[in-house]
Amino acid sequence: MKTLIVYGTRYGTAAEIAEEIGKTIENKGIEVDLIDSRSTKNYDISHYDMVIVGSGIKIGKWTKGSLKFLEDNKSALSDKKVALFVTCGAANMEETIAEGQEKYLDEVAEKYLSNKPVAMGLFGSIYDPNAKHGLMYKLATKFIIKKGLDKQGINTSKRIDYRDWDEIRTWAFNLANMLE
Ligand SMILES: Cc1cc2nc3c(=O)[nH]c(=O)nc-3n(C[C@H](O)[C@H](O)[C@H](O)COP(=O)(O)O)c2cc1C
């Protein structure tokens, strides 16, 4: 049994989630290959039983590389177990989870997959007022994300990691069970 995990990331969050998913599946005795979607050109996925594809979200969008992977492999993916995940700000708050699920997972599955995914994971993100990720990150953090957190009375002076690692591991564990 072999699993491929392809991730698209801009700030590293999806990469860390993909790694943890990979470790969890490997711990169940399943072979895992983990690759950045930017390195998937002409990648042969024929020998995988399951393919997990995930991305961070920026202004409503997956990374170009991860979408290109889905597009390029649409027919090859049709006879495999496919799971999708995203990490996004929408997952951090109860009120925006349903919208995130619909826009970043349901719509992508509908558009890029010919079969229904076996699982879809909407995972939290990181708020980091001191991260050095460039101007766009800085502006979004200061003027959009911080404002939302301030409104909820959350202390925005420090980094907050909204990823629920138990949830992520459980999600991966359940995927591994599907291969047994
Ligand atoms: C410039 C910018 C735009 C973002 N746009 C969205 C968005 O439209 N929707 C959302 O839910 N989260 C948004 N986020 C939060 C990211 O999706 C989140 O930080 C994610 O974990 C990033 O994943 P990555 O580090 O793998 O790229 C945005 C973050 C930044 C910095």
Beta bridge partners of 7: 36, 54
Q: Per the confidence metrics, is the pTM higher than 0.95?
A: yes
CATH 3.40.50.360 boundaries in the chain: 2-125+163-178
Amino acid at 22: G
Q: Where are the beta strands (DSSP E) in 88-168?
A: 119-123, 126-127, 160-161
Question: Which atom of ligand 1 lies at the shortest distance from residue 11's CA?
Answer: 25
Q: For a ligand 1 pocket test, name from 88, 136, 163, 164 the mutation site with the most ligand atoms within 8 angstroms of its C-beta.
A: 88
**145 and 128 Cβ atoms separated by less than 8 Å:** no
Q: How confident is the model at residue 180 (pLDDT cuts 50, 70, 90)?
A: confident
63 within ligand 1 shell (Cβ under 6 A): no
Q: What is the CATH number of domain 2-125+163-178?
A: 3.40.50.360
137 within ligand 1 shell (Cβ under 6 A): yes
Q: How far apart (Å, rounded) are the C-alpha atoms in residues 1 and 159?
A: 38
State in Å: Cα 30 to ligand 1 middle.
Answer: 31
DSSP secondary structure, 148-172, as one string = HHHHTT---SS-EE---HHHHHHHH
Per-residue pLDDT tens digits for 71-116: 999 999 999 999 999 999 999 999 999 999 999 999 999 999 999 9
Per-residue pLDDT tens digits for 120-154: 999 999 999 999 999 999 999 999 999 989 999 99
Q: So what's the pLDDT on residue 107?
A: 98
